[in-house]
Amino acid sequence: MADMEPLKGANWVPIDDHQFDLVDGVQLEFTGGHTPGHQVMHVTTKAGNNYTFTGDYLHIPQEYDLEAKGWLLSDADEWHAYIRKLKVREKAKRAKIVLSHDPGLWSKFPTAPKGLE
pLDDT reported for residue 88: 96
Binned at pLDDT 50, 70 and 90, residue 1 comes out as low
| Domain range annotation of the chain | 17-108
- HSE-CB for 66 with a 13 A CA cutoff: 8
More confident: 33 or 92: 92
Instruction: Give dist(CA 14, CA 8) in Å, integer.
Output: 16
Amino acid at 6: P
Rounded CA Rg of the chain: 15
Contact 12, 21 (CB under 8 A): no
pLDDT reported for residue 8: 82
Q: Per-residue pLDDT for 35 more than 90?
A: no
More confident: 65 or 116: 65
Instruction: Give dist(CA 115, CA 117) in Å, integer.
Output: 6
**Tens digits of residue pLDDT in 85-106:** 999 999 999 999 999 888 888 8
CATH of the structural domain 17-108, one choice from 3.10.129.10, 3.60.15.10, 3.30.70.20, 3.30.70.360: 3.60.15.10
**Tens digits of residue pLDDT in 53-75:** 999 899 889 999 998 887 777 88
pLDDT reported for residue 34: 82
